[in-house]
Structure 1
Amino acid sequence: MTDILRVENLKKSYDGFLAVNGVSFAVQQGELKALIGPNGAGKSTCFNMLMGQLKPTAGQVFFDGENVTGQRPREIWRKGVGRTFQITGTYQSMTVIENVQMSLISHHRKLFSVLPRAWKLYRDEAFEFLETVSMADQADRPCSILAYGDLKRLELAIALTHRPRLLLMDEPTAGMAPSARIALMQLVADIVQDQGVSVLFTEHDMDVVFAHAHHIMVLNRGELIADGSAAQVRNNPQVQEVYLGGGTLFKEAQDA
């Protein structure tokens, strides 16, 4: 398979402290890959360098074979990289479908020329994205009254509007009930399978990770200590020791 994302010796330092220290990995086209680790391991810092919010101290990021290191977030977004965040950022005063329409208007570069008639534009296309995340029946509801899980699904629909080839999802199930977490990640897995989108996601819920990720990477203190299948990660002594304090949760996951 082809690498859609390749990271080489990525580092980020703050006043001599290495938040990310020599991280290298690849994500293949059509792969659903998890990046896990304890709080402070460097996951969000790594994500912010991939998407251009932070400039690396050293190392390189390649998207589809092109060096995108240090490019601005919008430039990377235009090339086909999407992102969702831990905290949703929808327009609460707008309806569900209007949020998706606004993203489509931005994608089509018409943000400043069509505002008086924006509510009419790309409505059918917006419905299609809402159908993808099973929210078409809530299209005309205000975002301000949505359940948190529905806001997460809406954010996913918005991220898909420019048809990314790679989607970065930072804690996609944070703040959700356990059943809603599994449902959202099953939806993501279906999108990966049906559309061939690659997804790299960070996550603390091990049930979500082991149920859906094709491969798993583990960060600890800014360094990548494991990268492999669920079984390989579960059985890695270093992961068991530093991430899960002896591997209790890994063993529970195996026994479930």
Structure 2
Amino acid sequence: MSALVVEALCKSFGGLRAVDDVSFSLGETELLALIGPNGAGKSTCFNMLNGQIQPDVGSIRLYGDEIVGCPPRTVWRMGVGRTFQITATFSSMTVMENVQMALLSHHRRLRALLPFAGGQYRDEAMALLDRVGMASQAGRACGTLAYGDLKRLELAIALANEPRVLLMDEPTAGMAPRERLQLMRLTADIVRDKGVSVLFTEHDMDVVFGHADRILVMNRGRLVAAGSPAEVRANTEVQAIYLGSGALYAPEGAA
């Protein structure tokens, strides 16, 4: 069974068709990239998948369950995690406290135990931080972290609800080249170890072609190509969209 199945998804804003009849599936434990130039409709598509925007028409099924019409909180509780292009953390709180708050929400104890939050789920929070390489910074305030570390923290927060599907919007945006590769290796490890299915958007073609199992390409609201990295790299329409001519990123040593 596919983790996520999207069928005939459409969304318009006034006279602009931002997403136009988009259909695809995300396989179990698959690392699937969604790429396209600015304005292609990627963010609108992403926002529909986790309930932030409701589609005009179409279907989104999570392990067979229809989630169109569900608010983001419900989609999150059903097992869809998300990271954002711009990190969304509490800057005045510590790294540990940010993850604890996500765990309190996951366990539905956020309001009842808010005054005692500092002592709750510390072991679980530390395990998540250790998983993303942030355990040594658990006591630091988020406002003092480097941007790459904030991205790692956001990944730990997204994993707090034990997601079956993880949506990552521009996960390496603003990161140095080495940090980008490290984060995507970490994500690939999580896919393998935790059995999570990942859909991510990304502008860095080295990241996309180096780590994705499959690639979807959007342009002007429509899905124009889908396939393995090799198939998408060789697609003439994709080449025209990105470069006008020539080829997309090829691995070192390739012709």
Specify the SS of the correspondent of 1:167: strand
- Could you report, residue by residue, the CA deviation over 1:187-219 in whole angstroms, capped at 9, with x for unpaired residues? 000000111100000000000001110000000
Specify the SS of the correspondent of 1:157: helix
Distance 1:223 1:79, change over 3 A: same
1:14 and 1:50 map into 2 onto residues whose CA distance is 17
> What is the aligned-residue identity percentage?
62
2:98 and 2:160 map into 1 onto residues whose CA distance is 11
Amino acid across the alignment from 1:234: R
User: Which sections of structure 2, spanning at least 5 residues, go unmatched?
Assistant: none
TM-score (norm 1): 0.97
1:165 and 1:150 map into 2 onto residues whose CA distance is 24
2:239 and 2:216 map into 1 onto residues whose CA distance is 13
Amino acid across the alignment from 2:15: G
Specify the SS of the correspondent of 1:246: coil
2:8–2:58 Cα contact (<8 Å) kept: yes
Q: Does 1:8 align with 2:4?
A: no
| Match runs of 1:196-235 below 5 Å | 196-235=195-234
1:240–1:250 Cα contact (<8 Å) kept: no
Amino acid across the alignment from 1:88: T
1:220–1:243 Cα contact (<8 Å) kept: no
RMSD: 1.3
- Could you report, residue by residue, the CA deviation over 1:78-137 in whole angstroms, capped at 9, with x for unpaired residues? 100010000011111111111100110111111111122110000011000001101111
1:34–1:201 Cα contact (<8 Å) kept: yes
Equivalent in the alignment of 1:19: 18
TM-score (norm 2): 0.97
Offset of 1:255 from its aligned partner? 3.4
Equivalent in the alignment of 2:42: 43
1:93–1:144 Cα contact (<8 Å) kept: yes
| Match runs of 1:234-249 below 5 Å | 234-249=233-248
1:148 and 1:236 map into 2 onto residues whose CA distance is 35
2:239–2:245 Cα contact (<8 Å) kept: yes
Equivalent in the alignment of 2:166: 167
2:214 and 2:243 map into 1 onto residues whose CA distance is 18
Q: Aligned residues, how many?
A: 255
Offset of 1:179 from its aligned partner? 0.9
User: Which sections of structure 1, spanning at least 5 residues, go unmatched?
Assistant: none
1:170 and 1:253 map into 2 onto residues whose CA distance is 26
Offset of 1:248 from its aligned partner? 4.0
Specify the SS of the correspondent of 2:200: strand
Amino acid across the alignment from 1:57: D
1:9 and 1:218 map into 2 onto residues whose CA distance is 16
Specify the SS of the correspondent of 2:224: strand
1:228 and 1:239 map into 2 onto residues whose CA distance is 12
Offset of 1:70 from its aligned partner? 2.0
Offset of 1:165 from its aligned partner? 0.2
Specify the SS of the correspondent of 1:7: strand
Offset of 1:253 from its aligned partner? 6.5
1:252 and 1:155 map into 2 onto residues whose CA distance is 29
